[in-house]
Amino acid sequence: MNTPPSHLIPSRSAKRATFDAGSIYSILDEALFCTMSFAMDNRPFSIPTSFVRYEDKIYIHGSVGSHFIREIEKGIPVCITVMLTDALVIAKSAFSFSVNYRSVVIFAKAEKIENPEEKLSAFEWLTDKITPGGWDYLRPATPSETKKTTVLAFSLAEASAKIRTGMPKDEEEDLELPIWSGIIPLETKRLTPIPDESSLKITLPTHLSGTNS
């Protein structure tokens, strides 16, 4: 994307924006969930959902009976957002507080995936993103399950990332104040899996044993 559309350029802190595909992809690959925003009947809607990126598209899926899915599969414009929070930025003044984050905004329209093999591939990509190596361990999806599920793809042609890193940006006159400032790192991690009643006597599979690392 040589000259990004004006709606992709932030109105504030534009220097934090990037249109580099590598930066966008890395954020999307780390995030497990996105928010799909769209307008219907002159009302705004914003739905969180899981997703996966494969090459230059992201994919979501849902029941063929889902009102949300049936609406956006028509090709109406959607805005897709993702945000990863890395730290709270604590300044000497509350007005200078901030957050270290990595975010992506995508403007796109849904492409409905009809081919059964492509749909299965999307299921595999998403499953292995949530639990790496899990697809081959699980019971195979049935044709009925595949038929009952809609898969939608969204191009990343109109995507941008915005990133904030570093320490607080205090006012010059505040720097000598005896008030602590800095960052509080935040971390999201997978903890030890907890089995349900039907799995109490089943050995934890290898692909799940490292989720607390």
pLDDT in tens, 101-112: 999 999 999 999
Full-model pTM: 0.88
pLDDT at position 2 is 47
Domains defined along the chain, listed by start: 6-209 (2.30.110.10)
What mean pLDDT comes out for the span 58-84? Answer: 96
pLDDT in tens, 4-20: 665 566 555 567 789 99
- Ranges of H-type helices in 62-183: 67-72, 116-130, 143-147
pLDDT at position 13 is 59
What whole-number distance in Å separates Cα of residue 81 and Cα of residue 138?
30
What whole-number distance in Å separates Cα of residue 61 and Cα of residue 195?
26
Which tokens hold the place of 13? 């802190």
